[in-house]
Structure 1
Amino acid sequence: MTEPDFSFEQAALALGHSRIAGVDEVGRGPLAGPVVAAAVVLDAARIPAGLNDSKKLSLARRDALYEQIMAGADVCIAQASVAEIDAHNILRASHIAMVRAIAGLSAPPCHVLIDGNLVPRGLALSCEPIVKGDARSLSIAAASIVAKVWRDRHMVDLAQQFPGYGWDANAGYPTVAHRSALAALGVTPHHRRSFKPVHNILYQD
């Protein structure tokens, strides 16, 4: 398996782009919680060793890299709420979170590397969608780590307020335990009503 490298960033630098951001989101699949995006502009002289797609890293490794990225890069984390997911759809909400993360950086990037095959609507910047970008670009890999660690920690916090659903372990994804709890305990304000398992419980009559 190849690991992410800096080739996409170097190609953009060669075209005269001086400030390149990697962007990724996490949380499209869960039944509960927001969708979270991160935008990261790495300092080429301070790139943490071992950056990779967050799904390929252990919890301890993600946490360690998160701290290094936050300390050495320009980072913004943004989210789209459950209400926004239900009002639009999960893809549109993911893109809203991405646009917010890019807008929240300390200065606008010249070029944006985006995980996926689509550019978010309304993004008036030089953009490059990269399929499986979190496994190919170091900047996107960094964004994937930041978004996942932040969202997982957020779901641990929500699990304290709404015990029983196992969000501290499943991060809101539709595990067997989560779906059983949903049937037994009902729907919380953090559940996505537009998602079928939640919708079906609300409207089972």
Structure 2
Amino acid sequence: MPMKKYPSAYWAALLMPLLLMLLPGCLLAPREQPESCFYDLAMPEKPQPQNRFRWIVFDNDTPSRTRMLQRQAGNRIVQDDYNCWVQTPEKMIQRYMTLAYPADSKTPSANLADLRVTVTAFEFDTVKSEAVLSLNYTLKKGSLRYSGAITVRKKFQTAQAPAMAAAMDQAVAEATTKLYQAVCSSLERP
């Protein structure tokens, strides 16, 4: 008995339901896109004008741009694609510090020392549950030059972006105070 030939449309109609049953459910289910959230540093509570120095340059020597970076076990750095900063670290820190300790506008700029700040770490250590902020600074007034470094670590309770951003906010506030004190101390040296 000869075999009956079936048209290709017949085979397609026969195989289509089978293929649909074999496709994984995740392809047919709607995908939820995670919400992108943006975070900023809080503003200083009360500006304290000072007449000792002016903020000159803020640099960023970290891989962090606007994405939040998490340091995991084995020094693995992971970039969070859905939780971001509103600006790069150096811009947010510059804004915070210049608002916290603005140079007094009545002081001639020739009487002010120049302060340069470089951000060397702006990340979240998820192994230790800490926000880590490190800054290098150089203070120059005439022939005098002082350099130093400040690192601040602040704990966060959960590895969720709001808690981590709040910890970084505390780290920036503390680093700002420490930097101001270090600069004032350097300028008082003979």
TM-score range with shorter-chain normalisation?
Answer: under 0.3
Bigger RCO of structures 1 and 2 (CA < 8 A, at least 6 apart): 1
Higher helix residue share: 1
TM-score by length of 2: 0.26
Point out the structure with max Rg over C-alpha: 2
Normalized per residue, the structure richer in strand is 2
State the TM-score, normalized to the length of structure 1: 0.24
